[in-house]
Amino acid sequence: MEQLQLTFDEKWEIILACDRAYDDVFLTAVKTTKIYCRPSCRSRKPKKENVLFYVDKKEVEAAGYRACKRCQPDLNQTPQLSVVQSVKTFLIDSYKQKVVLDDIARHVGMSTFYLDRLFKQHTSVTPRSYLEKIRVDKAAHLIHTTDLSNLEICYEVGFQSPSHFYQAFRKGKLCSPGEYRKKAK
* Residues acting as catalytic residues: 37, 41, 68, 71
**How many other C-beta atoms can be found within 10 angstroms of the C-beta atom of residue 36?**
26
Alpha carbon distance, N-terminus to C-terminus of the chain: 47
The CA-based angle 105-153-126, given to 5 degrees, is 25
CA 45 to chain centre: 25
Q: How far apart are CA 178 and CA 140, in angstroms?
A: 10
Cβ neighbours of residue 100 closer than 8 Å, sequence gap 6 or more? none
Name the residue among 73, 77, 81, 2 with its Cα closest to residue 35: 73
C-alpha dihedral, 164 to 169 to 172 to 175, nearest 10°: -130
Dihedral sign of CA atoms 113, 114, 119, 125 in order: positive
